């Protein structure tokens, strides 16, 4: 696993050397096949032609070997980064405008989502949310009024002094 990773990183950063090694290996295999063909009694030109035919197209073999390295994504990413940096050097004002626009957009998006998450998506920081109630009372005109916490505390402490008066309190979930 680590050896495989080492070979891939090596292929990524030492591309020319790896390509030269690949060319040498392909040439070695073709020469070995040519020697085998010469031993069977073929002449030199026919042995070389036959070795090339049996080995296959060298360009296709090279591509197959490159695909086996499985670093195409990293190579493409590095090429894209180099291309972007060349473009930024050619038009620095445009590059600065693009970077600032993307940064501003990401910042606004993060701020809006943070606010939305805090007020809409998250539940109340209460262990039992269904234990929350809202108390209202109606005056003689039929209009409803809510209690403040202080009014509720006063009503609760003073209600025992007025046994005849029991406030008509309508409770509903908040």
What pLDDT is stored for residue 126 in this prediction? 75
The answer to whether residue 96 sits within a structural domain is no
The answer to whether residue 9 sits within a structural domain is yes
Domain that holds residue 160: 129-173
* Token pair in block for residue 89: 């050097």
What pLDDT is stored for residue 174 in this prediction? 47
The answer to whether residue 113 sits within a structural domain is no
Q: How many distinct structural domains can be found in the chain?
A: 2
Cβ atoms of 65 and 29 closer than 8 Å: no
CA distances from 66 to 29, 53, 156 (A): 17, 21, 81
**pLDDT tens digits in sequence order for the chain, 174 residues long:** 787 777 777 777 777 888 888 888 888 988 998 999 898 888 888 888 888 888 777 777 777 777 777 777 788 888 899 999 999 899 999 999 999 999 999 999 999 999 999 888 877 677 776 767 777 778 788 888 887 778 877 877 777 655 544 455 554 544
- 3-state DSSP call for residue 145? strand
CA distances from 142 to 138, 139, 160, 173 (A): 5, 5, 26, 21
Rg (CA), the chain: 40
CA distances from 98 to 17, 74, 90, 92, 106 (A): 37, 24, 14, 10, 12
Q: Which of 36, 59, 75 is the last residue of a domain?
A: 75
What pLDDT is stored for residue 164 in this prediction? 46
Q: Which of 49, 75, 101 is the last residue of a domain?
A: 75
The answer to whether residue 32 sits within a structural domain is yes
What pLDDT is stored for residue 114 in this prediction? 94
The answer to whether residue 34 sits within a structural domain is yes
In this structure, how many other beta carbons lie within 10 angstroms of the beta carbon of residue 47? 19
What pLDDT is stored for residue 83 in this prediction? 93
């Amino acid at each position: 696993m680590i050896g495989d990773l080492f070979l891939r990183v090596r292929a990524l950063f030492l591309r020319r050397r790896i390509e030269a090694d690949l060319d040498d290996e392909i040439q070695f295999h073709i020469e070995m096949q040519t020697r085998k063909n010469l031993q069977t009694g073929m002449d030199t030109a026919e042995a070389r032609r036959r070795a090339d035919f049996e080995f296959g197209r060298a360009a296709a073999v090279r591509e197959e070997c490159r695909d086996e390295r499985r670093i195409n994504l990293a190579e493409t990413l590095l090429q894209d980064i180099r291309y972007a940096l060349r473009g930024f050097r050619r038009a620095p004002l445009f590059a600065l405008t693009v970077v600032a626009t993307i940064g501003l957009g990401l910042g606004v998006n993060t701020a809006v989502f943070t606010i939305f998450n805090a007020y809409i998506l998250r539940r109340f920081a209460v262990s039992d949310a269904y234990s929350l109630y809202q108390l209202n009372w109606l005056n003689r005109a039929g209009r409803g009024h809510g209690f403040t916490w202080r009014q509720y505390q006063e009503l609760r402490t003073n209600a025992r002094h007025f046994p005849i008066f029991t406030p008509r309190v309508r409770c509903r979930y908040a």
